[in-house]
Amino acid sequence: MRITQNMVANQVLRNVTHSLARLAKSQEQLSSAKRINRASDDPLGSGVVLRLKANLERLNGFQRATDAAQEYLEGAATPLERIMELLHQAREIAVQGSSDTLSGTRGPLAEQVNQLLEGLLSEANTRFQERYVFGGTNTDATPYTATRDASGRITGVASNPLGVDGVINAEVGPDCLVPTNLPGGQTFDRSVNLFEVLITLRDALAAEDTAGVAATLTPLDGAMTQVNSASGVVGVAIRRLEAVRTRNQEDLIRLESLRSKVQDADIAAVYVELQKLQNAFDASLAAGARAMQSSLVDYLQ
Amino acid sequence: MSSLFGSLNVARSALFANQLVLQTTANNVANSGRSDYSRQRVDLVASLPETLPVGQVGTGVTVAGIRRLRDQFLDQQFIRAEQSLGEYEAEQATLNQIEALLGEPSDEGLQASLSRFFTAVTDVASYPQDYTTRRAALEQAETLAGDLRRVSSGLTDLKRNLESEIRGKVGDINELLQEIGRLNGQIQTVVVAGGSPNDLLDRRDQAVDGVAKLVSVSRLDRPDGTLVLSLTGGGGVLVDGTTVATLGAQLSAASDDYYLTLGGTAVSVTGGEMAGLLHSRNDADGYVKYAQDRLDTLAATLIEQTNRIQSAGAAAAGLRTAASQYAVSDPAAPLVSAGLPVGVTVPGTVTVFTYDTSTGAVAGSATITVTAATTLNDLAAQFAGAGLSASVSGGTLSLAAAAGQSFRFARDTGNLLPALGINAFFTGTNASTIAVSAALRADPNLLVVGYPDPTTGVVAAGDNRAALAMAGLSEQKVLGGGSASLTDYYAETIGVLGARTATANRLVETQTLVTRTIQNQREQVSGVSLDEEMIELTKAQRAFEASAKLVVVVDELLDTVVNGLKR
């Protein structure tokens, strides 16, 4: 086989460019810490990475929705506690007022119940982050409006005619809808109308109607059960959200590690590979420089 | 009869021959750096011997010729290898550009924009009354639309670049063809006169090689020295003697294909860089057109699906005006056959509710009915009956609420609103035209969050069903006949293009190796080895010196004869 200077030169050039190209590829993997930097690096893997990234971003969205839903539910939990407290006080007053030993002094008790009633109305119209908590989907309209007599006392409470029972859902997982609000009716008017009980109690106390006061004890107990179960619903929903968040968090970690496995470079392996390629590159440069140095011309005198 | 003068003649022929060897060697060395140069050798033969009674005696050396060392078979193989390499390289360059344009997988690509858009819509669902989340969702939608437009216009630019490259190469080929035609004429003149036009033949070969690198051609040599060059595969004659055809390139308006013409008629070419460029430009199965088509389908689906939710949903603010964005071909023609990009389902109905702007209360409602015979003019009349002012101009419908009123749509069973593009989320029909509706950009409160009550028309501020539905589009299988989500579809596109690019990269690598191997084989035959030339040089030098010495010896002998015999 004839070997010419051009062949040697071409060979050296080819080897050096080839080594350099592989070195550059390895260096790209190392500096980006990714095995797949463009779709052609691994077409199948690229599709997988894209889908995983979409899933990851979707999960992030779910996590944010979960946080928002929890905020709202906790926004409902606080007024429910205060309503419970109100009902406890009302029941104590009712017990006190139904006692026969107390006579002619129920006026202050009636006044206290009136205050509780006002408090209940204000809790029913609680706003959290600009939304009426118990307004159903009509979060921008006052859910409960009182009608008052000439002296300003509440004679009745009507709910928003557009409805207070609409459910607002949040999507916290694929096809996983969780209610983020507690419909007003469930708290204030399911089996017992809280406002009516307090109005009856107040009026019975004002009228010194012992029997009438005693008759409110059963509905008051019912009211407390009703609020309790509403609190329970909120509590269950919050716990469910926490479970969803944990599951989403686990999914996030799992998918992220999956993505990393597909897309990220094994740094140690790439580093070793880079060192090998660096050596090969040096060797091809050195060999090239040596091979092209000598010629017969050097020895002809 | 031998003589001293005969010996002098032998020495003279040796001096002359070795001088020629020296010059040829010098020429080889001088051209050693050129890759297309073939080394030359002086062919020396013994001169005709002189017959003496005692036998034959040599009369020196004669130059038989100066020969180029070249293998025609390897030359042909090399051209073919270069043709394939050119074709693959052109395709690889296009695919690499598409890959760079899409830039996936990345944290900032189209997929990221798409995902972020859906997350932003999820935020709207989480905070249905919040203006900021609506604003943010629309910003994300604009980023997404902008990304789609950017990639789409990049692909269009790529197409235009390929076209101008094709035109440039066609120009190159035409110049080479002209030169071949001219050389054909000159060669014919010399050949007919009995000469051997080596230099002209070399130049013509070079021109033919130049054409062959760009397109696959077959050549036919005629006895008069001219050649016929035609496109491989019966594509047509390019050059015949001095008759030269002209290649052209033009765009087919019907199919959006770019094709070559020869003398005005379309021709197909195989092999070479030109074939690679034409594949890249025209093929619908994995190059520019494929990417563009997939993105257009993606964008069209996104537009249709989001518009379906947006158009019949309830936004915080009612509509004061609305106009259709897709024009019908004829306002008096039935909508089903009026050339709308999204189809209308008939029969269908859509409810229009009007609201008092100051109180927000429902002022009235009407049902618009669409049948197979309904025209845009009919629709305008129906909307007018619903208490809106409606007008048709230029194939589009414009609606406006009465003074102090606004309106919303509900329950669009016939897909009428997205078909006309009324109260749209996105405007446009494909990846190059997609944009967030100007009305939405001007007032984010027009972004739908919930749905009006279908019977009363009442809008609840906390209702987030429409936003949930829009966020749910991210995993809904809306493409490929219900088999792929938007993400799936896009990921598949990237996968297909990535596989194409990987294949092209591999092909180029393999073909480069093949080309280099053949080049090496050619170099083995034709390449100049400096060491070899040095040895030739030394040989010639020594032979020249020895011949010169012979002259001296013969001279001395003659001196002996001439001057010695005188005494």
Chain A hits for B115, CB-CB cut-off 8 Å, are: 53-54, 57-58
Closest Cα in chain A to B520: A7
Residues of chain B with pLDDT under 70: 1-2, 566-567
Per the listing, tokens 């009235």 go with: B364
Question: Domain segments of chain A: what residues?
Answer: 5-51+264-296, 52-257
Chain B hits for A42, CB-CB cut-off 8 Å, are: 498
Measured CA to CA, the distance from residue B83 to residue B274 in angstroms comes to 9
Taking only residues 220 to 279 of chain A, the set having a beta carbon closer than 8 angstroms to any beta carbon of chain B reads 263
Measured CA to CA, the distance from residue B3 to residue B97 in angstroms comes to 80
Q: Which two tokens stand for residue B41?
A: 């050798």
Taking only residues 417 to 446 of chain B, the set having a beta carbon closer than 8 angstroms to any beta carbon of chain A reads none
Q: What is the span of the domain harbouring residue B359?
A: 320-422
Is B335 in the same domain as B220? no
What is the count of residue pairs from A and B with beta carbons less than 8 Å apart?
Answer: 198
Residues 6+ apart with CB under 8 A from B240: B228, B229
Chain B hits for A171, CB-CB cut-off 8 Å, are: 122, 125, 468, 471-472
Q: What is the pLDDT of residue A175?
A: 82
Is B42 in the same domain as B80? no
For residue A63, the Cα-to-chain-centroid distance in whole angstroms is 4
Is B78 in the same domain as B198? yes
- The CATH number for B388's domain is 2.60.40
Residues 6+ apart with CB under 8 A from B447: B124, B134, B137, B138, B310, B315, B425, B440
Q: How far is A236 from chain B (nearest CA, A)?
A: 19
Any domain includes B488: no
Is B532 in the same domain as B406? no
Domain end residue (candidates: B388, B422, B456): B422
Contact A171 B498 (CB under 8 A): no
Contact A39 B527 (CB under 8 A): no
Q: What is the pLDDT of residue B2?
A: 65
Contact A2 B538 (CB under 8 A): no
Chain A hits for B476, CB-CB cut-off 8 Å, are: none
Q: Is B3 on the interface with A (CB under 8 A)?
A: no
pTM: 0.87
For the CA atoms of B237, B239, B241, B243, the dihedral, rounded to the nearest 10 degrees, stands at: 90
Q: Which residues of A226-239 are buried (b: 16+ CB within 10 A; e: fewer)?
A: bbeebbebbeebbe
Chain B hits for A163, CB-CB cut-off 8 Å, are: 460
Q: Is A211 on the interface with B (CB under 8 A)?
A: no
Contact A4 B471 (CB under 8 A): no
Query: Sign of dihedral through CA atoms A77, A81, A87, A91?
Result: positive
Q: How far is B22 from chain A (nearest CA, A)?
A: 16
Is B83 in the same domain as B209? yes
Any domain includes B165: yes
For B122, the closest of A131, A171, A174 (CB atoms) is: A171
Contact B127 A136 (CB under 8 A): no
Considering the domain A52-257, what is its CATH architecture?
A: Up-down Bundle (1.20)
Contact A300 B534 (CB under 8 A): yes
Q: What is the ipTM metric for this complex?
A: 0.87
Any domain includes B56: yes
Is B83 in the same domain as B200? yes
CB of B156 within 8 A of CB of B184?
A: no
Per the listing, tokens 């999960």 go with: A59
Is B35 in the same domain as B78? no
Q: What is the pLDDT of residue B389?
A: 93
Contact A46 B105 (CB under 8 A): yes
Q: What is the pLDDT of residue B125?
A: 94
Is B183 in the same domain as B79? yes
Contact B122 A46 (CB under 8 A): no
CB of A89 within 8 A of CB of A167?
A: no
Backbone torsions φ then ψ of B244, nearest 5 degrees: -120, 125
Q: How far is A268 from chain B (nearest CA, A)?
A: 23
Domain end residue (candidates: B368, B403, B422): B422
Any domain includes B520: no
Is B227 in the same domain as B204? yes
Contact A300 B33 (CB under 8 A): no
Q: What is the pLDDT of residue A264?
A: 93
For A281, B91, B468, the CA distances from A165, given in Å and listed in that order, are: 74, 63, 19
Contact B501 A138 (CB under 8 A): no
> pLDDT tens, B469-512?
999 999 899 998 899 999 999 999 999 999 999 999 999 999 99
Q: Which residues of B427-451 are buried (b: 16+ CB within 10 A; e: fewer)?
A: bbbbbbbbbbbebbeebbebbbbbb
Backbone torsions φ then ψ of B405, nearest 5 degrees: -130, 160
In single-letter form, the type of residue at position B519 comes to Q
Any domain includes B228: yes
Domain end residue (candidates: B422, B447, B473): B422
Q: Is B118 on the interface with A (CB under 8 A)?
A: yes
- DSSP for B363-383, please give it: EEEEEEEE-TT-BHHHHHHHH
Any domain includes B43: yes
Is B356 in the same domain as B411? yes
Taking only residues 124 to 163 of chain B, the set having a beta carbon closer than 8 angstroms to any beta carbon of chain A reads 125-130
**Total domains, chain B:** 3
Measured CA to CA, the distance from residue B427 to residue B67 in angstroms comes to 73
Q: What is the pLDDT of residue B567?
A: 56
Is B370 in the same domain as B389? yes
Residues of chain A with pLDDT under 70: 102-104
Contact A10 B516 (CB under 8 A): yes
Is B331 in the same domain as B264? no
Any domain includes B466: no
Any domain includes B467: no
CB of B526 within 8 A of CB of B73?
A: no
Query: Beta strand B405-410 with B396-401: parallel, antiparallel or unpaired?
Result: unpaired
